[in-house]
Amino acid sequence: MPNARTGLRRKIWVAFILQAAAISFAAVLGVYGASAVLKHVLIQRALQEEASHYWERLAKDSQAQVPDTYNMTGFLIPAGGSTDPLPGPLRQLPVGFHSLPRAQGGSLVLVEKDSNGHLLYLLFKQEQVDSLAFWFGMAPLAIVLVVIYVIAWSTYRTSKRAVSPVIWLAGQVQRWDPKKPESSALRPENLPVDVEGETLVLASSLHDFASRIESFVERERDFTRDASHELRTPLTVIRVAGDMMESDEGLTPMSRRALKRIQGAGRDMEALIEAFLILAREGDTGLPDDDFAVSEVVTEEVDKARTLLGNKDVTLELVQQADFQLHAPARVLSVLLGNLLRNACHYTDEGRITVTVRRGSIAVTDTGVGMNEEELSRVFEPFYRAGDRKKDGQGIGLSIVQRLSQRYGWPVRLDSEPGRGTTATISFPHVPTAG
């Protein structure tokens, strides 16, 4: 079972980490874009305005000096003059805005030409560009990221406190025993003070639900205990009365046939009640495990099944190729095998029924009506009856067999062919196949 305490908190933590990382990435991208704008737009515009201002001054004063400041350096080449006074990287630059490589100084350069043919070169130092980019980009970015991380951490702590009641509630439910849930911790007076709102409603609902489960479990235990006694008592009376009536030689043939049907129905009902009681029991009220020889249970069930054949021309044979021990409730194997034998006797009117005991398996083979593929696919459904539906039967015997086999880990396989019979094989995976 997953740990709710770590699972929910981890998901919240991962969500905030991803959120902080996404915001940080967006912030870095924004600052990078801002620095690009600062470098290629704002500075270019500043250089263009500075050049326009210089042309105006030059028009008024032919001796006006070119800009020469801490951040900017200017060069003026008269019309037709030589570019030799210029630094080497500037001599071949055409008119326009340029960004020199760092190996050549890395400056941003604006080259303009006036109507008189004069060339003006304005250089903005790369160091100042980097400094501006840092102070107007990286420093605010660092502050923004710190604020983002502080807010994310505070939000995470607040969210964790908000879900703490849910985590506490999940921990209480995780410690419940499914067979006897302990709901006292969810009583209103026992809840922590921070359990409120929807969590309080959930805790109250779980408390009511657990109380109902305890009531249902107790009722099921009472029913299992009482039914195991009360339901067998009338069946015992019917069986004893039937045996006494059978010894009456004055019964008419019709009465004797009716008596046989009563006895058969009583046996079927007794086996059905036994199966239902086994399936209704939980692990703590189930049948005790015993070490028993499989051959003893098989022999007993085969002897019981002979009475089900009546006057049918059917031979019931037990073939014991091996014997092995099981550690399980012997009564479960009796009910499981009894249902398979009852089904075989019910649908076999002539021929043979063979029960074969091998090491690790028991097979019941009959020469009855058999089943096609469609019937085989539905044969374990409750109340589904394959083969001759005119015969008496409840249609739940094989459903009980499947539920018992799944509960105790004894797989049952059916192989059948219409008109040729059926073979039901019970396997015991934990029994070695070799002696």
Q: What are the pLDDT digits (tens) for 49-81?
A: 989 998 998 888 888 889 888 878 899 988 888
Residues 6+ apart with CB under 8 A from 19: 152
Question: For residue 14, how far is the Cα from the chain centroid?
Answer: 20
Single-letter amino acid code for the residue at 182: E
CA neighbor of 232 nearest in space, from 261, 269, 282: 269
Locate CATH 3.30.565.10 in the chain.
Answer: 287-435
Task: Give one word for 94, left, alpha or beta, with left for phi > 0 and alpha for psi -120 to 50.
Answer: beta
Q: Residue 87: pLDDT band by 50, 70, 90 thresholds?
A: confident
For residue 20, CA distances in Å to 11, 17, 151 come to: 14, 5, 9
Strand 119-124 and strand 350-358: the pairing is: unpaired
The pLDDT score that the predictor gives to residue 435 is: 46
Please report which residue ranges of 61-180 form alpha helices under DSSP H.
126-133, 139-174
Q: Hey, is 206 helix, strand or coil?
A: helix
Tokens coding 195 = 């359990």
Distance CA 408, CA 312 (A): 34
CA neighbor of 314 nearest in space, from 341, 358, 349: 349
Distance CA 45, CA 113 (A): 16
Q: Do 421 and 366 meet the contact criterion of CB atoms below 8 Å apart?
A: yes
The domain 287-435: what is its CATH number?
A: 3.30.565.10
CA neighbor of 128 nearest in space, from 107, 109, 142: 107
Name beta bridge partners: 121: 75, 111
Q: Is the pLDDT of residue 185 over 80?
A: no
Q: Is the pLDDT of residue 433 over 70?
A: no
Tokens coding 312 = 């049918």
Q: Is the pLDDT of residue 354 over 90?
A: yes
- Residue 106 dihedral angles phi and psi, to the nearest 5°: 70, 20
Q: Do 353 and 316 meet the contact criterion of CB atoms below 8 Å apart?
A: yes
First to last CA, the chain: 39
Range with top average pLDDT, 14-18, 33-37, 270-274, 425-429: 425-429
- % of the chain exceeding 90 in pLDDT: 16
* Global confidence as pTM: 0.50
Q: Is the pLDDT of residue 295 over 50?
A: yes
Place of tokens 């002696």: 435
Please report which residue ranges of 347-396 form alpha helices under DSSP H.
373-378
Range with top average pLDDT, 116-130, 167-181, 253-267, 291-305: 291-305
Distance CA 410, CA 335 (A): 13
